[in-house]
Amino acid sequence: MSEDGEFREAFPELSKELEEQATKTFKIDGVRIMAEETDSTGDAKTFTPDVVDYIRRCDTVSQALEIVDFLMKQNEINQSQAREIKSQLKADGLRSFGSKKEKDHYLHHGIGED
């Protein structure tokens, strides 16, 4: 079988789209992304973690609640955000914010990857 035939067999819908020159689009909602910001030289700016980044490093709900209280005292999140986060922690658990990020996560995976 030719490479072209193998491709058609392995990816029939993609082949059809390519042959018809018609691209399908799908709207994706609910995905948390971190846009890469660049300065005038084109270098990526320093990454500043948010409350979810800190929570994803916690081992217990108690640690996460402590982080939320601290960030609220530092005015990095407001009282309403703190209430919502605490409610989610109590109702859905620690990992409802995402899988645990281990030490040196960004060193190994980069800033734009989860």
Do 51 and 77 form a contact (C-beta atoms < 8 A)? yes
Angle in degrees, CA 32, 102, 99, rounded to 5? 40
Q: pLDDT, tens digit, for every residue of 64-83?
A: 999 999 999 999 999 999 99
Which of 103 and 40 is assigned the larger pLDDT? 103
| pLDDT, position 47 | 67
- Reported pTM: 0.53
Closest CA to 91 of 83, 100, 99, 79: 83
Give the pLDDT band of residue 34 (cuts 50, 70, 90). very low
